[in-house]
Amino acid sequence: MLSDLLLIFAIGVGVALVLHRVRVPSIAGFIVAGILIGPRSLSLITDLHDIEIMAEVGVILLLFGVGLELSLEKVRRLWKPIVLGGALQVGITIGVAAWISTGFALNLKQGIFLGFMVAVSSTVIVLRGLEYRGEINAPHGRFALGILIFQDLCVVPMMLAIPILAESQGDIADSLIALAKAAAVVVGVLIASRIAVPRLLHHVALTRQRDLFVLVVLLICIGTAWVVSLVGVSLALGAFLAGLVVAGSDYRHQAVAELIPFREVLASLFFITIGMLFDPAVLIPDPRPVFTLLGVILIGKFAVVMAVGLILGLPLKVSLITGMSLAQAGEFLFVLLRAAQGKNLVGDPLASQLVAAAILSMLITPLLMYLSPHVAAGVSRVNILQRLLGVRTARALNDSAQMTDHVIIAGHGIAGEALVDALRAQGIPYSIVDLNAETIRLLSMQGEPAYFGDVTSAEVLERLGIHRARELVVTISDSEAAVRATSTARKLAPDLPLLARVRYVGEVEPMLEVGATTVVASEYESAVEIVSLVLARHGIENREINTHIERMHANCRAKES
């Protein structure tokens, strides 16, 4: 086992570093490393039993981490994409998969199980991609996160439904009884844990022994998984429930911080073992079935997610980017497939072909996420789809209706709304452009000059009268879109004052390079506010506070130059 681990990590690090030079995410590198060293390729590791054990440990820690990341506050903020978007996406995907499966000599139960496996996307790959690009808080990032949370929660009933789908019609009653027992044990464990875990963690935290705290958190993870597995529920699902239990305590953030090294290492190990499952021999006799499955998964899930976004009234651009991000099969496919072994739900060669297609879809995902903003850049030209959203578009403006000497506000978040209130109070004309159809609809009902449009489009900016405007203010949360909008606006109006808001100081320089006149970094402004409040609370005079703030401004300008 030790020699296998040494070989796995050595080749995994090497391949990931090489691919990182061509901007391929590390997850794809780990999967490629697994393909290379697997028993079906170079055969550097041939002990499948050890591989399955390592994969199971990786899955346990991975799902524990997913459960640990969930919080009631996050669920409350994302209730619409979670409840509505997630339910529609999962339900439609399962239905479509079951319908397609019946045309290929599979029964309804097998079709539903196939729908289970392809309905869930890769939480780890998508979230890491969004974090790497700084798009978690972008509209498509929030939509994707909501659907991913619902998908993760759906794994619970999916796992519990496997025995029912696997049994014959006469044994459904016994399966339902077993399911009820499993549900009762799960509920009992959750209730007991909610009472005992916070007290246990509190007493352990009082000792201020870091190693003891880490050990207790791992004990909760493995112990809960083991107890739940006694009634037939998988260890991975038990670990997920344990994560939810710890996430509900006051020590959630400390647990996350302490377990990040374990989670990252074993999650990486999990993706390497996924690559080991890939069998190149599946492609040799006839690659068409694998690539057909790959195409069905990518195109089908893209279409479903995009349709769900449009149904919820989200912009076409947001729906398209989210659809391309969630088009892959996820790591839970392997968990579900492992749980269904020997139950006649999916047999060979379909199982091997499905695994190959899933792995390929996960490898393609980083490329799809990279291309999605570029594909969506011209989406605002699809006028028919925009009219279906029921909002007033910027292209509907004619020359006589456009204002002059006005401020164009791109984005109506907190900053945009505050600016609108200030301009209205001072009698300064303005127009609002946003890709949130619901926001534009509400503003239009209130009589505001608000228009649906992509501010990165030169045609939209021209319709909004950029050549006659007094200023353009970009407050959108999508950093890449903000850069493209600034660059486009500067080419159209070289002398126009252009103010842009970014989140981090590191994003200031790229905005200045593409033509922004002034850039406000939320990170820096919050630092200024913190310094001012703390110094004032300690009795420092306003004159000295202002002197210190000016020094901060000078340092910031020096760094920018």
Split at pLDDT 50, 70, 90, the class of 203 is: confident
Question: Which of 223-227, 278-282, 396-400, 487-491 bottoms out in mean pLDDT, i.e. has the lowest?
Answer: 396-400
Residue 393, strand partner residues: 452
Q: What is the pLDDT of residue 173?
A: 63
- Interatomic CA distance for residues 292 and 297, integer angstroms: 9
**Residue 303 covered by a domain:** yes
Q: How many domains does the chain divide into?
A: 2
Question: 40 is written with which tokens?
Answer: 């079906």
Same domain, residue pair 536 and 518 = yes
**Residue 39 covered by a domain:** no
What does the pLDDT look like over 42-83, one tens digit per residue?
A: 888 777 676 667 667 766 776 777 677 665 556 666 677 788
Most confident of 248-252, 341-345, 473-477: 473-477
Segments forming the whole domain that contains residue 426: 384-560
CATH code of the domain containing 494: 3.40.50.720
Q: Cα angle vertex 43, ends 40, 47, to 5°?
A: 90
Same domain, residue pair 260 and 311 = yes
- Interatomic CA distance for residues 206 and 189, integer angstroms: 25
Kindly tell me the burial class for residue 131, based on how many C-beta atoms sit within 10 Å of its own C-beta (0-12, 13-18, 19 or more).
Answer: exposed
Same domain, residue pair 396 and 331 = no
- Interatomic CA distance for residues 356 and 348, integer angstroms: 12
CB 121 within 8 A of CB 151: yes
Q: Residue range 364-372: average pLDDT?
A: 84
pLDDT(217) > 80: yes
Q: Is the dihedral of CA 2, 18, 145, 75 positive or negative?
A: positive
Q: What is the pLDDT of residue 170?
A: 45
Most confident of 59-68, 462-471, 549-558: 462-471
pLDDT(387) > 60: no
Calculate the dihedral angle through the C-alpha atoms of 421, 423, 426, 427, rounding to the nearest 10 degrees.
Answer: -110
pLDDT(384) > 60: no
Q: What is the pLDDT of residue 416?
A: 87
Question: Which of 89-93, 126-130, 139-143, 360-364 bottoms out in mean pLDDT, i.e. has the lowest?
Answer: 126-130
Quote the radius of gyration of the chain (alpha carbons, Å).
Answer: 26
| Domain final position from 332, 352, 374 | 374
Split at pLDDT 50, 70, 90, the class of 310 is: confident
Same domain, residue pair 252 and 110 = yes
| Domain final position from 341, 374, 407 | 374
**Residue 218 covered by a domain:** yes
**Residue 2 covered by a domain:** no
Query: DSSP class of residue 466?
Result: G
| Domain final position from 374, 394, 419 | 374
Q: Cα angle vertex 447, ends 444, 450, to 5°?
A: 45
CATH code of the domain containing 129: 1.20.1530.20
Phi, psi of 106 (to 5 degrees): -105, 145
pLDDT(557) > 70: no
Most confident of 131-140, 151-160, 183-192, 499-508: 499-508
Q: Residue range 368-375: average pLDDT?
A: 81
- Interatomic CA distance for residues 281 and 408, integer angstroms: 58
pLDDT(520) > 90: no
Mean pLDDT over each residue of the chain, to the nearest integer: 80
pLDDT(400) > 60: no
Same domain, residue pair 397 and 306 = no
Phi, psi of 324 (to 5 degrees): -70, -30
- Interatomic CA distance for residues 91 and 220, integer angstroms: 33
Share of the chain above pLDDT 90, in %: 13
Share of the chain above pLDDT 70, in %: 83
Helix or strand (DSSP H, E) at 375: helix 350-376
Q: Residue range 250-261: average pLDDT?
A: 72
Most confident of 116-120, 185-189, 234-238, 310-314: 116-120
Q: Which of 108, 86, 87 is nearest to 97 (CA)?
A: 108
Same domain, residue pair 161 and 292 = yes
Same domain, residue pair 414 and 329 = no
Same domain, residue pair 247 and 344 = yes
Residue of higher predicted confidence among 370 and 395: 370
The residues, ordered by sequence, that sit 6+ positions from 185 with a Cβ below 8 Å of its Cβ are: 227, 228, 230, 231, 233
Same domain, residue pair 457 and 326 = no
Question: 76 is written with which tokens?
Answer: 């409350």
